[in-house]
Structure 1
Amino acid sequence: MKRTPLGWIFKDESDSSKTEETIEEYGSDQESASSNSEFEKCVQERFKKTSKRVNTLSKLLKTLNEKMNDIFTHFIEISSSSEEHEKEDVDDISDESTFGTSELE
């Protein structure tokens, strides 16, 4: 790659027949100075595609993160409610066993 007043170009794209005068002419013309070479267009397209992919993946990851949080919340609610039911069942069983032993005595 080679840096010119017109921008970055491949070395084989540069025309050795250009003189300082023609470069100065291009430098004075705003439109020519801002025009993109094929390489710059290619790089810009790749950045656009990559940026679009990153945004898509970012949205997907946010959605997955929200779904996982919902799943964890739901699992915690289920496990805590089942633990409460188990404690109630154990308490009921212990009450019944205590009641049953007192009747035997």
Structure 2
Amino acid sequence: MGELLAKNLLLDEGYDIIEENFTCRLGEIDLIATRGDELIFTEVKTRLSDSFGRPAEAVDRKKKLHLINSANYYIKTNPTLEQMKIRFTVVEIMVNHMTDVF
């Protein structure tokens, strides 16, 4: 659910999605997009509550290293993208179902 919402958000903001759920031996990247001369690697984090903090807080040092290494691998296997500016983003999805509010 979260990745579909994130994909639609990025499309609405003018991004072109070129890859979804890219997986290699170094890790996984939820969405890879382009916009203009930028290549954007996006991690999607979804939470049903904020009991454990905001979704983006789950992107710790280890996850960042996996994203960077996976992105480098992706670029090396797609040399036409090597000259693009690289950017990493996180899309947070928070679901809050409020019952019996009135």
- TM-score in terms of structure 2 length: 0.19
> Whose RCO is larger (CA < 8 A, sep 6+)?
2
Bigger fraction of residues in helix: 1
Bigger fraction of residues in strand: 2
- TM-score in terms of structure 1 length: 0.19
